[in-house]
Each structure stands twice: as C-alpha cells, then as structure tokens.
Amino acid sequence: MTLPLPPEDLLAGDTLATRARWLRAEIERHDHLYYDLDAPAIGDAEYDALFRELQALEAAHPALRAADSPTQRVGGAPQPEFRAVRHAVPMLSIRTETDFGEAAAVAFDARVRRELKLGDEAPPVEYCAELKFDGLAMNLRYEHGLLVLAATRGDGETGEDVTQNVRTIRELPLRLKGDPESLPAVLEVRGEVYMRHDAFARFNREAAARGEKTLVNPRNGAAGSIRQLDPKVAASRPLSFFAYGIGETVGWDIPATHAGILDALAAFGIPVCGQRVVAKGGSELAEFHRRIGAARATLPFAIDGVVYKVNSLALQSELGFVTREPRWAVAHKFPAEEATTRLLAIEVQVGRTGALTPVARLEPVFVGGVTVTNATLHNQDEITRKDVRVGDTVIVRRAGDVIPEIVGPVLDEEHAQRACFDLIAAYPECPVCGSHVVRGEDEAVARCSGGLWCPAQRKQALLHFASRKAIDIEGLGDKLVEQLVDAGLVQTPADLYALDAGTLAALERMGEKSAAKLVAAIGKSRKTTLARFIYALGVRNVGETTARDLARSFGALDRLLAAAGSADLERLQRVPDVGPTVAACVVDFFAEPHNLEVVAALRSAGLEWEEGEEALDEAVLAAAPGEVAGKTFVLTGTLPSLSRDEAKALIEAAGGRVSGSVSKKTHYVVAGSEAGSKLERARQLGVEVIDEAGLHELLKRQGFLPEQGEEQ
C-alpha cells in the first residue's frame, strides 16, 4: 500500500506535532472529498492507515490530541450514564397547530398582527418559514469555534451531555469555519438530529445481513443512537443534523433576522436546510405549507410539518412568550402520511392466549418514513367494517406515525367482484398447531382451541398450569418455562413429569440443588384435587371458582369429559354460574383431540386426586347449609381491612363461593369504597348488599370464627 507522502519539508524536520497536524488536515481533506464532493481520492485501506496512525500518535502523546481531531468522531469508551447539563438558555417548545388546513397559517398571522397592534393598513409581517424536522432536539455549544458540548433538550431546563455521540455525526463541524480570531467566544446552535431515509434503509439492510436488530423508523433511529452509552455504536449509525436556531451567544454580533441567523450558521459550516423561505403575511405561509405538503413524500428525510417564525428579532422580543412557548412561532403539522398499495393476502398470527389476529400482507410501500409490508387488521369485525378484500388496492396510514394501519379499500371496479374475507372459513384450523379454530357468539376474537398443545400458547399454558392456584409447582416461574420450552425439553404440561434432575442441572443459571428442588416440587404436585386439575387446564372462562364448581358437581373427571364430549350443554349448565358461554368453552376445549391427549398423558404421568359422587346443583348448594355456606358472594370496591383475596379465602373457608359477576343467583354483594357497576347491578336485581362488617356478622352467625382478624 502506498501512503501519500507529506511534503519534503515536513519529512525533513519531522516533529510529532507537525506530523499529527498534517494527518488531521489530510484526513479532513479526504472526508470532504468523500462526504461532500462524493469524489474519493484514496481507497478505504489507505484512509484507515492514515486514521490509525493519527490515533496511535494521539494515544501515545495525549497532548497532541485536539478537540477537533477527526479521531474524536469515532467515539471513546462507553460511559456509565449521561451527565446532566443545565442549559444556559432554556430550550423552549413551540405551539402546535393541529388543524391541517391553510386557515391555521392565516390565523397565526392574524394573531401576530393583533398582538403587535398592527392596523389593517400596516404592511404584512415578514416570517421565516422552515421545515419541522422529525428527530431529536439538540443544543451544540461552540466556544471560540470548537465544539465543546452537545446536549439533548431534556425537560427544556436540563438535558444530557451526549457530546461523544454527537461528535460522530460526520456532517457537523468540530470546528467552525472562519477566521479563528473573529469567531464568537460562545455560540450555541440549536437544531434537530435526524436520520435520512436512505441512511436508515442502508443501515437496516446491513444490520439485517449481519443478523442484528433493525431500527423501527428514522426518528427512533436518531433518538436511540444519540442515547447509546457506547459511542462506537452511535458512530456506526448514519446521523444528520439541521440547525433551526440559537441559544446562548457571547461575542457575536447577532443578525437582525431569523433568516439572517440561519445564513450566518450556514456560513460557519453548520448544516442548515435549504428548504426555507422568507414569506410575507398569512397567505404566503399557507402557500409554503401547501408546497411542502405536496413535496413531502419526495424529501430525503421525515418531516411532520412546517414552522413559521416572525423574522425580525426585534418583533420577536416585543411578542415575547406565553409560559414556555414563544408567541412568535408556531408549528403547522401535516396529517399522518397515507399511501396506497395492494393487499396481497390476509394471514393470521396466533398469540399467547390463542387469539388469531389477521395480518394484512401488503405490497411494500413507503409511508411515513418506513417501508410497510404488513399491517394488523385486529379481528374479523374490523375486516368486515372496513370491507377490505384480498386483491384490493388499500390506503395505508401510519397512525400516530408509528403503527401502520389500513384505512380502507380504494373502491375500484373489481372490488365488488372480490370475495369477502371470512377468517374462520379461511383458517378453520390453527396455522400453528392444526387444532380447530372457534369464535364465541359474542366474541370479536377467533381462537385456537389447542390450548395445551399449540406451540404459540405453550409458555402461557405451562405457566398457568404450574401457578399457585392451579397445580402449584413451586419455583416454576416464567424464566424457567421460557428456558424449558426454548431448549425443547417441555412441550405440554405432561412433559414436566418426565424431567430429571440431571437434565435440569444442565440448564443455564440452574445448579444441582435447585434442579433437585424443582424435581421434588414437580413430584409433589402429582397429588392434587380435581378442582385444581380442571383449573390448571386453562379452559377459557373457567376460573378457579368455576373449576371448583365443576369438580364438586361432576365429582369425577370422566363424568365431566363425558358431558363435554357429548356436548351436553344442559348438564354443564346445571353447575352453579355456568351459563351458555362457559358451557360452550368447556365443550370446545375437550372437543380438541390434542387437549384430550395431554389430559391422558397427565393421568399416566401419575397425577391423582380424590373423586366423589356426582352432585347436581341443588345438592351442591344443600351440601353445606349455613349463613355463608352454599351462598354466592360477589366482592366489589375496596374493603376497609380485608384484601380481595383475604375476603375470598374467608368466604370459601366457610363453604361459600365467590363469583366475578352479579346475577340473579347471587346471594350477597359485599361492597367497599368506590364500588362501581357491580353495586349498581346488585341494586337493579334486588340482591342484598352488605359491607365488610356485615360479612363478619354472617361468618360469626354461622359460628365460623376466622383464625386471623378475629376480634380480641
């Protein structure tokens, strides 16, 4: 490799300082050729060699390191946190006009004129109109021309010192242009750090190729990069900057207009966006808004509106501020971006609870700063309401400029000929596990019924199965479930019973002791109750209480399976509080062969419980007569001394049952403070309402004295 040689005189009387200076100048020259003129004169390897030599020189002789050295751009060591910095002049926010129409521009001008007490005959007010960049606000402090501090806006008073990261932004000068003698002692430049669309796309392409995480959108990309504690990460992100104002200045003859300030900043070498005009009066502002709105999609970076500022600084100070916003400026927004594209297909995703969410696959379209290839359609009702059909041209919007959403179809001639989408018809079986898909009568959501089997629901199902109120396996929490499933050791709850301590001990963060403990806990859980077992299966709408009632009423699992298997809704509804919805959920669950397989596997794994006689509902109620026993309670609001769980435990210990909703079958509603709709419903149905003291009274009358909370 041939390095460009420094001029003879430097080689001759070579000192380290002159060598360092020469390297800096050479690197800057190549940066300029590469970044500004797009005309590189040397290859990457030669450039790297220059750079590394300078780095080595500076590392060996720290005195040679200058604040404006190009080596400062690559980022130093990671920091533990960002230092807080108080802004010399607060960073204010700006009033936002969300009315997208042109009237807002005219109204702003009228407001300014009124406040300046300008009569109708006075000449139009001059404004500087510019773009509202969609990135992250930044304050850059230059002292005697050198960039010494970069801080985020924070709360406007205090921001964070992100100098290391901002130094990595190539297009920002580390030293201002101009005669060093006449540069301001202090010049704070304010503006927006942002990411260009092409830089964003390139970054994501490369990150994806390396198998790394991609950025969600350019704005998050900019904000996220600036907040990286490791400046090397920030250095790898292609960021840009546009100035839109100033903060503190010392020793600078401030221009008389805002446009003059922006011109002066540009002359210092600070990037200032060319899309700015001096406009006279409201109609020219409206014209700017219209023109930029039309050009918005073709800009190489994201904007979310335009900003109008009174141009004269003298008039600005006359207008002053209201709270934290200047009266002389306003942001005039654009509506969320929309685009049209083709709906290629509607697929479904299966969530942790088995819910099937339809997802629109779209022909890739660039909208609101990102390429959108799919959008959620939420559920069947949403598809029906919007009447979107596969093959349609659809309008896509990035709602809140983040989540892509389908607004509706473009009603072309073919639309009517296309088939309406019917989720259940398209997906009668779960695309993940093949179990049948059901949708309850009053439900918006369609679900996979393979709760115990479906890989999409596996982790959730296992966690529920092992939870305290279900089979109660101590120590089996979400981290462990995650590990067991990811390692392929456990697929259904039945697999838990085949685990041995040796296998478990090989897992990360799992010692031999805890492995043995877990195996013991799993073993212990084999002895359970029918109620716990039913609850642990995770049948939709079958909570703890319903599971207990099912267990009491059927007495034996096979009797429940028989009723469910023959879809005996009538028998199921003889169980207290089981209505048509719950009965249908029970039938659906046991109609899925995969679930029955798991139930069978659990039984052969040795799970056991005591079984009893069948008891029909009246019998269940009659089994334990008393003030509380056999009665149904509903708890609502906050009780003065008992928590919900404590009250529930007391009632159940005395043989009562606690239900979640008030019906005609409810005997008592126990109401605390801030009781809401349940109390209302109790009154409508004429159900007796008592308070905590009333509950204690009932318990006492039954001769049931709770162990705790007993009166002294």
- Residue number with the shortest CB distance to ligand IVH? 137
DSSP 8-state symbol, 688: E
| Closest distance to ligand IVH from the beta carbon of 329 (Å) | 5
**Which tokens hold the place of 117?**
């007490």
Among 30, 87, 132, 175, binds ligand IVH (CB under 6 A): 132
| Closest distance to ligand IVH from the beta carbon of 30 (Å) | 32
Residue 289 is a binding residue for ligand IVH (CB under 6 A): no
Residue 94 is a binding residue for ligand IVH (CB under 6 A): yes
Maximum CA extent, the chain: 110
Given a contact cutoff of 8 angstroms between Cβ atoms, the answer to whether 390 and 346 are in contact is yes
Q: Which is nearer to ligand IVH, 130 or 392 (CB)?
A: 130
Among 51, 108, 127, 133, binds ligand IVH (CB under 6 A): 133
H/E/C letters for each residue in 421-453?
CCHHHHCCECCCCCCEEECCCCCCCEEECCCCC
DSSP string, 354-401: SEEEEEEEEEEEEETTEEEEEEE--SHHHHHHHT--TT-EEEEEEETT
| Closest distance to ligand IVH from the beta carbon of 233 (Å) | 23
Residue 696 is a binding residue for ligand IVH (CB under 6 A): no
Binding segment (CB under 6 A) for ligand IVH, from list 87-95, 232-240, 429-437, 614-622: 87-95
Residue 192 is a binding residue for ligand IVH (CB under 6 A): yes
Q: What is the size of the binding site for ligand IVH (CB under 6 A)?
A: 14
* Per-residue interface string for the shown chain with ligand IVH, residues 196-235, x marking contact by CB under 6 A: ----------------------------------------
Residue 270 is a binding residue for ligand IVH (CB under 6 A): no
* Per-residue interface string for the shown chain with ligand IVH, residues 135-164, x marking contact by CB under 6 A: --x---------------------------
| Closest distance to ligand IVH from the beta carbon of 190 (Å) | 7
Strand 370-376 and strand 355-367: the pairing is: antiparallel
In the set 132, 386, 648, 678, the catalytic residue is 132
Binding segment (CB under 6 A) for ligand IVH, from list 36-44, 88-96, 389-397, 689-697: 88-96
d(CA 213, CA 233): 13
Residue with tokens 């046991």: 590
Site for ligand IVH, residues 296 to 325, rule: CB under 6 A: 307
**Which tokens hold the place of 11?**
């080689």
Given a contact cutoff of 8 angstroms between Cβ atoms, the answer to whether 282 and 105 are in contact is yes
Exposure letters 398-430 (e unless 16+ CB within 10 A, then b): beebeebbbbebeeeeeeeebeebebeebbeeb
Residue 581 is a binding residue for ligand IVH (CB under 6 A): no
Q: Which is nearer to ligand IVH, 132 or 648 (CB)?
A: 132
Among 145, 159, 231, 326, binds ligand IVH (CB under 6 A): 326
Short-list 575, 102, 557, 156, CA closest to 325 = 156
Given a contact cutoff of 8 angstroms between Cβ atoms, the answer to whether 109 and 125 are in contact is yes
Residue 483 is a binding residue for ligand IVH (CB under 6 A): no
Cβ neighbourhood burial of 522 (10 Å; 0-12, 13-18, 19+): buried
> Residue 538 — left, alpha, or beta (φ > 0 → left; ψ -120 to 50 → alpha)?
left
| Closest distance to ligand IVH from the beta carbon of 331 (Å) | 6
DSSP H or E stretch at residue 62: none
d(CA 114, CA 329): 15
Among 329, 394, 519, 654, binds ligand IVH (CB under 6 A): 329
**Which tokens hold the place of 709?**
């909370």
| Closest distance to ligand IVH from the beta carbon of 85 (Å) | 17
Q: Which is nearer to ligand IVH, 192 or 588 (CB)?
A: 192
Binding segment (CB under 6 A) for ligand IVH, from list 91-99, 262-270, 350-358, 564-572: 91-99
Q: Which amino acid is at 9?
A: D
Residue 130 is a binding residue for ligand IVH (CB under 6 A): yes
* Per-residue interface string for the shown chain with ligand IVH, residues 243-262, x marking contact by CB under 6 A: -xx-----------------
Whether residue 132 lies in the annotated active site: yes
Query: Where does this chain bind ligand IVH (CB under 6 A)?
Result: 92-94, 130-133, 137, 192, 244-245, 307, 326, 329
Which residues carry out catalysis?
A: 132
